[in-house]
Structure 1
Amino acid sequence: MPVIQSLLDTDLYKFTMMQAVLHQYPAAQAEYRFRCRTPGIDLARHLDAISVEIDALCALRLHADELDYLRGLRFIKPDFVDFLGLFRFDRKYVDLRASTDVPGGIDLVITGPWLHTILFEVPLLAIINEVYFRDTHGAPDEAEGLRRLHAKVERINAAVGYEDCRITDFGTRRRYSRAWHEALIPHLVDGLGAKFAGTSNVDLARRHGLVAQGTMAHEWLQAFQALGPRLRDSQAAAFDAWAQEYRGDLGIALTDVIGLDAFLRDFDLYFCKLFDGMRHDSGDPVEWGERLIAHLQAHRIDPRTRTLVFSDGLDIERVMQLYGHFHGRCRMSFGVGTNLTNDVGPTPLSIVIKMVRCNGQPVAKLSDSPGKTMCDDPGYLAYLRQVFDVPAPAVAS
């Protein structure tokens, strides 16, 4: 069976961003690049198997019942569903080959209309991940995986004062396999009960009666570095465009595309009132939360009316630490990915696909975590730092 069997087997934020692209920037061009952050991994020997899976992905179409499900989501508009009824992946936009620079590495570049390439990221990462683990480690050790999962569930259920803790599955991109991801969901539903808020995976949400969770990803704000009126205003322009599209819905803002300092300078009283919360994805989460709470208070917004979403490399212990630290001071939600869907024994991979160009111009993510910044144009990266007054990271002596 193919790794990807439905076009809904992806994260919700890809569809929410795609709808905004259709309505606002249907002619924009995009380029994405793959990176494996885990050293010493031989992906090149899996190239043929990955290629076969991409061909299978490009043969998929959305079925009538899947389109009907999307129509039932309050923030999805009818014309976008009609467009998705015609959509299919086009292999011509994907260039996949062995790396000439990194032994065992692969070069994967996605180039084409943003509207027609935006959905590639999540299924391609899921394909690469599953092919690697399937061909290297075989089927998952389900007994060990369930033992680990039940230990996490028991740990949080046994803790006093965590009744309002809410955990969401964010694990599609780096899951051990599609089948293992599917198998986990009933255990999370039964084990966590009200503490399980849903999943970012649209297909699993549809078939298991869960809430599909997600808003925007880094690429939405990155693209505005090329689309916005001027670079300095790109972040604010991205938030404005999002608000125009969703009119108060899907109101969680991503904070780490150009670093937290730049975000706080742009996220003024208007945006503090307009958005329901913010999402953390790099840097120290405690420092991040403290600074966000202080920022809201400085703008006379009660932090208890806003949601802080934590989603950076979380495990259950970290979830509990953060919940305990911020409990009663704000609303919270926790997106747990790899530690839920790829914790069966073998060490998970750290792989990403990021937008690197829009309309032929370089774009970048200036992360608050070392190693997460991704840009293939050092000159542009330096210029972006200068414009947003973001210092370069210190070089160890």
Structure 2
Amino acid sequence: MIITSLLDTDLYKFTMMQVVLHHFPAAQVEYKYKCRTPGIDLRPYVGEIRDEIHELCQLRFTDEELAYLGSMRFIKSDYVDFLGLFHLPERCISVTESAEVPGELDIVVKGPWLHTTLFEIPVLSIVNEVYFRNRHRVPAYDEGRQRLNAKIDMVLADPELRDIRIADYGTRRRFSKAWHEEVITTLKNRMGECFAGTSNVFFAMRHGLTPLGTMGHEYLQACQALGPRLRDSQIFGFEMWAREYRGDLGIALSDVYGMTAFLRDFDMYFCKLFDGARHDSGDPFQWGERLIAHYRANRVDPRTKTLVFSDSLTFPLAIELAKRFKGRCQTAFGIGTNLTNDLSYQPLQVVMKMVRCNGQPVAKVSDTPEKTMCDDKAYLAYLRQVFEIPG
């Protein structure tokens, strides 16, 4: 059994889920899975994946887990009470072989947003681990340890990087749960304060680390269907987030409509209200320069704000970004695949994105074109027009 705890997921799933409980409890959604890595045949593993998902749907939160969630300053008691009754509904997920793409799987989640949002991360973790345990029955752990320690040495050997803060964001694309835990314990033991924590709530609880995360793409995508009008959906999403968290969890996601559209909506009010923003597509250096200039134009000192980088980061790229922006703003780095699935094998680029909310198409339009995801071309064209996004 791969997933043994419902906490084995990213913190932002819980923070978004609380917003859903309090503001959008009736929303109905649909998610679809996609593997961006070409030439991968997952069909032999359909049965194993289904069996693991069945076991996932039997899990419940333990009293210890509920107490841990309740100890977080931004988690409210009624939400903890709800989680005490929660389980993932197996009837809402289907796993079949794709009839259109050879080797691909069709994994579809459809049902109430409140009851289905926690599927994404563990399902992706299951797909990864089932694939890699079948493909590499004797994993190259020694190679992985050598690579991991070499990355840590890059940071520890450079006195300019004493203030760097690197976090683990690697749950969804990890080689395995066991390797993920070894990576986290190595980072904790060797990096000291340079290791900021992990997005994985289970390992944060287990190892006394800081759980990290705020909002994900699905939240702002759903606001396309839930807000008053499409053009104001990003503004609506930020306002509802602020209403729920009252200044806490203040890192805004910047790439659901691209950086230009984000800056148009992220006005002086939001510049002052939010603690910073997260980069997840496009050139990170250009993004940082544009955001710093935007803060200055809105009479906000960028040195008081945090720029979080999380798009396909490696240690060398994080180090280069840290040095570029040192003293100009605060920075943080969330590294995923390069931490938890770097054992010399090609990692899987798997995602599961919301494609509909309340029966209406929703989309993410990324500054990295291959990250754009929508199964309705007419809606995607309309969204581009509304937000003035180049095609």
Q: TM tier, shorter chain?
A: over 0.9
Retained in 2: the 8 A contact 1:222–1:364? yes
1:140 counterpart letter in structure 2:
P
1:260 corresponds to: 259
The 5 Å alignment of 1:319-358 reads: 319-358=318-357
Determine the C-alpha separation between the residues in 1 that align with 2:327 and 2:119: 39
Equivalent positions of 1:253-292 (< 5 A) are 253-292=252-291
RMSD value, Cα: 0.6
- AA of the residue aligned to 1:313: S
Q: Which residue of 2 aligns with 1:199?
A: 198
List aligned pairs for 1:62-77, cutoff 5 A. 62-77=61-76
The DSSP-based 3-state class of the residue aligned with 1:161 is helix
Q: How does 1:100-119 map to 2 (within 5 A)?
A: 100-119=99-118
Give the equivalent residue in structure 1 for 2:87: 88
Q: Distance in 2 between matches of 1:227 and 1:139?
A: 48
Aligned-partner Cα distance in 2 for 1:222–1:22: 17
Q: CA deviation at 1:140?
A: 2.5
CA contact (8 A) 1:47 1:98 kept: yes
2:239 is aligned with 1:231? no
Identity over the aligned pairs, expressed in percent?
Answer: 62
Q: Which moved further from structure 2: 135-144 or 95-104? A: 135-144
Structure 2 segments unaligned to the other structure (5+ residues): none
Deviations 1:191-222 (A, max 9, x none): 11110000000000001000000000001100
Tell me if 1:210 matches 2:229.
no
Match of 2:159 in 1: 160
Q: What letter corresponds to residue 109 of structure 1 in structure 2?
A: V
Match of 2:37 in 1: 38
Between the aligned partners of 1:117 and 1:186, the Cα distance in structure 2 is 30
Please give the alpha-carbon distance, in whole angstroms, between the structure 2 residues aligned to 1:137 and 1:43.
14
Q: How many angstroms apart in 1 are the aligned matches of 2:144 and 2:130? A: 19
1:267-289 deviations in Å (ceiling 9; x for gaps): 00000010000000000000000
- Equivalent position of 1:241 in the other structure: 240
Q: Matched residues in 2 for 1:185 and 1:162: separation?
A: 20
**Shift of residue 17, structure 1, vs aligned partner:** 0.2
Deviations 1:110-152 (A, max 9, x none): 0000000100000000000000000111243221111110000
AA partner of residue 42 (structure 1): D
What SS does the corresponding residue of 2:83 show, helix, strand or coil? helix
Equivalent residue, structure 1, for 2:23: 24
Q: 1:120 & 1:329 partners in 2: Cα distance?
A: 38
Partner of 1:5: 4
TM-score (normalizing by structure 1):
0.98
The whole-number CA distance in structure 2 between the counterparts of 1:138 and 1:324 is: 40
Q: Deviations over 1:8-55 (max 9, x none)?
A: 000000000000000000000000000000000001111000000000
1:184 deviates by 1.4
CA positional deviation for 1:160: 2.4
Cα pair 1:311 1:336 within 8 Å, conserved: yes
Q: TM-score, with normalisation over the residues of structure 2?
A: 0.99
Aligned AA for 1:321?
A: E
State the distance in 1 between where 2:168 and 2:249 align: 17
Aligned equivalents of 2:139, 2:249: Cα separation in 1: 35
Which digits, 9 at most, give the CA deviation of each residue in 1:296-325, with x for residues without a partner?
000010000000000000010001110011
CA distance in structure 1 between the aligned counterparts of 2:249 and 2:235, rounded to whole angstroms: 16
1:49, 1:131 within 8 Å by CA — same for their partners in 2?
yes
Partner of 1:395: none
Query: Partners of 1:178 and 1:139 in 2: how far apart?
Result: 15
Q: How many residues align?
A: 391
The one-letter code sitting in structure 1 at the alignment partner of 2:384 is R
Q: Distance in 2 between matches of 1:254 and 1:138?
A: 38
Match of 2:372 in 1: 373
Which residue type is aligned with residue 10 of structure 1? T
- Work out the CA distance in 2 between the residues paired with 1:382 and 1:74: 41
Q: Distance in 1 between matches of 2:324 and 2:80?
A: 42
Whether contact under 8 Å (1:140, 1:176) holds in the other structure is: no
Q: Distance in 2 between matches of 1:139 and 1:163?
A: 37
The amino acid of 1:203's aligned partner reads F
Q: Secondary structure at the match of 1:35?
A: strand
Query: The residue matched to 1:76 in structure 2 has which SS?
Result: coil
Q: Map of 1:53-68 to 2, 5 A cutoff?
A: 53-68=52-67
CA distance in 1, matches of 2:312, 2:4: 27
Give secondary structure in 1 for the equivalent of 2:159. coil
Query: What is the CA–CA distance in structure 2 between the aligned matches of 1:140 and 1:325, rounded to whole Å?
Result: 37
